Amino acid sequence: MSSISEDQKVSIEQVPELCDCLNLIPTHTIGKLYLGAVGGLRDLDKYNIKFVVSLFPTLNIEIPDNVLRHEYSISDQPQYKPRMKSILDETTDDIRAELQKGTNVFVHCFAGVSRSSTVVLDYLLTHEQLNMTTFQEVLEWIRKFRQQVKPNDGFIELLKERHVLI
């Protein structure tokens, strides 16, 4: 990946294959919610995914024209907490609307560990009535479906503030 420049278009075939590229997260909606790594873009057709939320600084990956994508440039560092807040404010309701329409949604960052898991956790805590009061409970629950989930400290702090978790 390091040989690809920021402004270069990259085909899906050039995306690295990473293990556990995407995982299904249970919701109470018609559509399915997937969380994972950039390599999951290879499986958009396989899982009939039509809405993608991409979270990483720069990498212009081409996807099929029939897939709607929201792209957000953000690094996985705690000091990007204000940027992540604005992303959460924008994406959570969009994800909900697509899932309620029956659209399959894929939220990813590069490795599917911190940025994308923060967005999915925020969606779940906002719209899915998880009935959990501690952040540790929420983490243990989502890790049943994707073990790699580990938001950075700034993103954890943001989620706790937004959802009054201890």
Predicted TM-score of the model (pTM): 0.87
Residue 42 lies in a domain: yes
Residue 7 lies in a domain: no
Q: Walk along the chain (166 residues) and give the pLDDT tens digit of each residue.
A: 344 444 445 555 555 554 457 788 888 888 899 999 988 988 899 999 999 999 986 667 788 999 999 999 999 999 999 999 999 999 999 999 999 999 999 999 989 999 999 999 999 989 887 777 788 898 999 999 999 999 999 999 999 999 887 6
Residue 41 lies in a domain: yes
d(CA 151, CA 42): 24
Residue 2 lies in a domain: no
Residue 47 lies in a domain: yes
Whether residue 105 contacts residue 53, with contact meaning beta carbons closer than 8 Å, is answered with: yes
CATH number at residue 57: 3.90.190.10
Question: Closest Cα to residue 56, out of 42, 36, 27?
Answer: 36
Which structural domain range is residue 158 located in? 24-163
Cα-atom radius of gyration of the chain, to the nearest Å?
Answer: 15
Domain count within the chain: 1
Residue 9 lies in a domain: no
Given 41, 109, 124, 158, the catalytic residue: 109
Residue 11 lies in a domain: no
Query: What is the per-residue pLDDT for 26?
Result: 80
Query: What is the per-residue pLDDT for 10?
Result: 54
Query: What is the per-residue pLDDT for 5?
Result: 41
Task: Clarify whether 109 is annotated catalytic.
Answer: yes
Residue 105 lies in a domain: yes
